[in-house]
Amino acid sequence: MKRFAPATGRNREPIREVLAKHLPEAGLVLEIACGTGEHAAYFAAAFPHLEWQPTDVDADALSSATAWYGEAGLANLRVPMRLDVVDAAWPVPSAAAVVCINMIHIVPWDVTLAMFAGAARTLPVGGLLYTYGPYRFEGSTAPSNEDFDRSLRDRDDRWGVRDVRDLSAITEFKLEETIAMPANNHSLIFRRAH
């Protein structure tokens, strides 16, 4: 069943503008945690020179993403597939870029580390890992993000708004750029370091 996420309608164009400056000229973009599938359909249409592979671990998300895939009818949009970032082998062995939108704050820290490790196995040296969402900077974030962080931790104490300093300490990647986005979110541009 096709689902809609209100935030996607608000954030997809600002994200597209950032991606347009950082995505490679050709190749496969692996989207981690594609959720409803709306972003995949929108970005595949916006970047016809790239193949777009949406993935998710959740069966309902995959069902929605498959509905968006069918409606989009785009040659460069691949059929959504199941991918659990904690698996030692991913079903997509290599990609030119990895995109992960609004996942890091709603998974335990070890799952975030697994996503980075999997992206490092999948990307070439210098390959783009793009993440988007709310973040802390040296322990601080916007008041609205503080409220959001409390609500996340009330649902699962392993979740929460992550600090960019912790993400930038992951040695397989170099944080190249931090870009402020609407609604107190940020785009983080990582490159595989080695």
CATH of the domain at 74: 3.40.50.150
* 77 close to 41: Cβ distance less than 8 angstroms: yes
Residue 68 has pLDDT above 90, yes or no: yes
Asked if residue 123 belongs to a domain, the reply is yes
**Pairing between strand 97-101 and 27-32?**
parallel
Can you give the pLDDT at residue 156? 94
In the chain, what are the helix, strand and coil shares in percent, each to the nearest 5?
40, 25, 35
Residue 1 has pLDDT above 90, yes or no: no
Distance CA 147, CA 126 (A): 36
Can you give the pLDDT at residue 48? 98
Confidence band (pLDDT; 50, 70, 90) for 144?
very high
The whole-chain average pLDDT of the chain stands at: 96
Dig out the tokens for 13 from the structure.
């164009």
Asked if residue 1 belongs to a domain, the reply is no
Per residue in 7-61, pLDDT (tens digit) is 888 899 999 999 999 999 999 999 999 999 999 999 999 999 999 999 999 999 9
* Domain count along the chain: 1
* 46 close to 69: Cβ distance less than 8 angstroms: no
Can you give the pLDDT at residue 10? 87
Asked if residue 141 belongs to a domain, the reply is yes
| Domain limits for position 146 | 6-192
Asked if residue 134 belongs to a domain, the reply is yes
First to last CA, the chain: 41
Can you give the pLDDT at residue 6? 81
Per residue in 101-125, pLDDT (tens digit) is 999 999 999 999 999 999 999 999 9
**Total Cβ atoms within 10 A of residue 157:** 9
Percent of the chain predicted with pLDDT > 90:
94
Phi, psi (degrees; rounded to nearest 5) at 118:
-65, -40
Mean pLDDT computed over 150-179? 96
Nearest-Å Rg of the Cα atoms of the chain is 16
Can you give the pLDDT at residue 9? 80
